[in-house]
Amino acid sequence: MGREVVKMVMADEELELTAAVDPSAEGADAGTLAGAAPAGVAVTGNLAEALMSSGADVLVDFTTPKSAMPNAETAISHGVRPVVGTTGFTPEQISLLDKLCREKGIGGVIAPNFSIGAILMMKFAEMAAKYFPHVEIIEYHGDQKLDAPSGTALMTAERIALVRTEFRQGNPREEEKLEGARGGYYQGFRIHSVRLPGIFAQQEVIFGGDGQSLKIRHDSYDRAGYMPGVKVAVKKVMELTGLVYGFERLMD
């Protein structure tokens, strides 16, 4: 994702690449590392040093849940606006980052998914849940993904819960013969996480009703599909004060 961000920034006349951080590639040219033309920006291994020396306005972070929180705190402490695509933040962490951003008078964005298609999938699922309250979510990712369920699945569930009166689905005498077979429980419905090599990112929201079913599915095939959303977030975060959670809040 970092390489795709570098290429996106280099291709946009309104944006300037000022720094790139990757401890495993320190000293390399960021553009060359991303498979693009040389950018004239050397990769550094220390985020704080990069922020202090580069004059950056925005940090784009697609690291891991363990790293993303301290990275965002470091960015905010330097007056740099975090745009984070990493999932796994707790509500308490989101509230803290919002507080820190407001104290600095800057904006920030955390988006479990920057894909415009995925955002529309979530919106359509919320609309459908008003009429089809029986629902389950199945999300598919590669076997190296660290969190389950995905941030997109959790956000989809949260949006469904806004319009669905909570009730426990299925037979009240249902019994799992194998623990976890019915998936994770969220306000009466289930979320299933599939982790297999060869899969990039897909999600299905399945609704059932008398004599019919409805499936809403989004498939991502390449990381480049997230870049239009990242570009919007990078530009709009300059107009914000406080932290925005969810890319859909940036869409017109």
Q: Could you list the active site residues?
A: 141, 145
**What three-state secondary structure class fits 205?**
strand
- The residue among 36, 42, 29 whose CA lies nearest residue 12 is 36
Q: How far is CA 12 from CA 21, 137, 157, 183, in A?
A: 20, 36, 35, 42
Give 231's Cβ-side CA count (13 Å radius).
18
Tokens of 33: 């590392």
Pairing outcome for strands 212-220 and 189-195? unpaired
- Which amino acid does the sequence have at 42? A
- Cα 125 from Cα 77, distance rounded (Å): 38
H or E element in which residue 245 lies: strand 242-245
> Could you identify the residue written with the tokens 């990712």?
141
- Tally of CB atoms within 10 A around 178: 6
Tokens of 145: 């993904």
